[in-house]
């Protein structure tokens, strides 16, 4: 087996009225959505940081500064695909991604398959190489109070042949 690397990513965004709730590129029906410069797709941002971390390529803010109007309301799946290109250019291929979304409401489970499909397509890997888990804050902290959503991700890269 060739060289393998692992990276970790974490993100959180505030839940506000008047924004769509987009998780892993999938719009989820809810009375509030995530605030941010881009579409605020918290899960995709965590995965981007995991990939960049594994490749030794800094973090999402270094690649897509939120001071840059180019990324205003950006589709985070487009950012993910750009990151995939940069990871590949650095000589890596994606092994797998595993992530946890921490959100009190709404339930993520009914949307899990669509989210996995969406991310697997963007990453050009099999659906079983993209796992998404759902957790809650059990009423505690900013997640538990419904103030925001957090996501944690790990990614594994293999040295490309
Ligand atoms: Mg973010």
Domain residue extents for the chain? 4-159
* Alpha carbon of 110 to ligand 1 centroid (Å): 23
pLDDT of residue 72: 86
pLDDT of residue 70: 86
* Alpha carbon of 104 to ligand 1 centroid (Å): 18
State the distance between the two ends of the chain, measured CA to CA, in whole angstroms.
11
* Alpha carbon of 48 to ligand 1 centroid (Å): 10
Task: Show the low-confidence residues of the chain (pLDDT under 50).
Answer: none
The CATH classification number of 4-159 equals 3.30.1330.50
> Using one digit for the tens of pLDDT, what is the confidence trace for 20-66?
999 999 999 999 999 999 999 999 999 999 999 999 999 999 999 98
pLDDT of residue 161: 81
pTM over 0.85: yes
């Amino acid at each position: 087996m060739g060289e393998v690397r692992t990276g970790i990513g974490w993100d959180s965004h505030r839940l506000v009225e008047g924004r769509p709730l987009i998780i892993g590129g999938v719009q989820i029906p809810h009375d509030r959505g995530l605030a941010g410069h881009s579409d605020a797709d918290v899960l995709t941002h965590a995965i981007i940081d995991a990939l960049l971390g594994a490749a030794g390529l800094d973090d999402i803010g270094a690649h897509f500064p939120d001071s840059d109007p180019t990324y205003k309301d950006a589709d985070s799946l487009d950012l993910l695909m750009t990151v995939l290109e940069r990871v590949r250019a650095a000589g890596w291929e994606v092994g797998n991604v595993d992530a946890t979304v921490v959100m009190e409401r709404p339930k993520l489970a009914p949307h899990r398959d669509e989210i996995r499909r969406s991310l697997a397509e963007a990453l050009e890997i099999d659906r079983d190489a993209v796992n998404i888990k759902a957790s809650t804050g059990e009423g505690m902290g900013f997640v538990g109070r419904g103030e925001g959503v957090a996501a944690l991700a790990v990614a594994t890269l293999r040295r490309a042949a």
